[in-house]
Amino acid sequence: MESNTEVLVAWRSGLSGWDALVDRYSRLVWSVPRSFRLSPSDAADVYQCTWLCLAEHLTRLRAPEHLGSWLVRTASRQSIAVLRARGREVSYDLWEPVSVLPPPDEVAITNDRQRRLWAALTTLTERCQRLLRIAAHSPELSYAQVADALGMKVGSVGSTRRRCLSDLRRKVEGLR
């Protein structure tokens, strides 16, 4: 497998390399808008914009070995921009009548669980939050891809994830 530097040099010199980059990082880039819970069409927009930004900035990348991290940061910024723009829009779907509602006690229990989980998640370190989001939304990614995206060593991904999950469990239990 060629390194990012080799692929970028090949692409810059007019040889094929773009497909190799897309193949290598496609699932990682898709995982970011999915972790922000964007709609499929918004996620597709973020995905395309991220690759467009890479094409526009490819000659200015100083550290090709950190390309995964760059792609995650770019996709995150794009996702946040979409969320901000969508926050100003009014969805007409909200005005559609709901045919079947779950019982109120189920809604209350589910809302309480979600509230505790998200409250606990926000108290974790940024590194833990990012790692757990990627693990939850893209479990198919290899440790090497996750490590590259987060700028950490491959050997520490599993133990860091276990530690983060353990901290999250303790914090969720503490919020009861």
Q: Are 13 and 88 in a shared domain?
A: yes
- Averaged over 131-148, what is the pLDDT? 86
**How many structural domains is the chain composed of?**
2
Q: Please state, in angstroms and rounded to a whole number, the distance separating the CA atoms of residues 89 and 112.
A: 27
Do 44 and 86 lie in one domain? The reply is yes
| 51 falls within a domain | yes
Residues 84 and 1 occupy one common structural domain:
yes
Measured CA to CA, the distance from residue 122 to residue 38 in angstroms comes to 19
Please give the angle made by the CA atoms of 66, 35 and 21, to the nearest 5 degrees: 35
- Look at residues 92, 127, 149 and tell me which one is the last residue of a structural domain: 92
Q: How far apart are CA 105 and CA 150, in angstroms?
A: 39
Q: Is residue 97 part of a domain?
A: no
Bigger pLDDT: 22 or 8? Answer: 22
Do residues 114 and 161 both lie within one domain? yes
Q: Could you tell me where the DSSP H helices lie in 36-61?
A: 40-57
86 and 12 fall within a common domain = yes
Q: What is the mean pLDDT of the chain?
A: 81
Q: What is the pTM of this model?
A: 0.49
The percent of residues in the chain predicted with pLDDT above 70, rounded, is: 81
Q: Which domain holds residue 119?
A: 102-176
Q: What CATH number should be reported for the domain holding residue 63?
A: 1.10.1740.10
Q: Where are the alpha helices (DSSP H) in 58-103?
A: 67-87
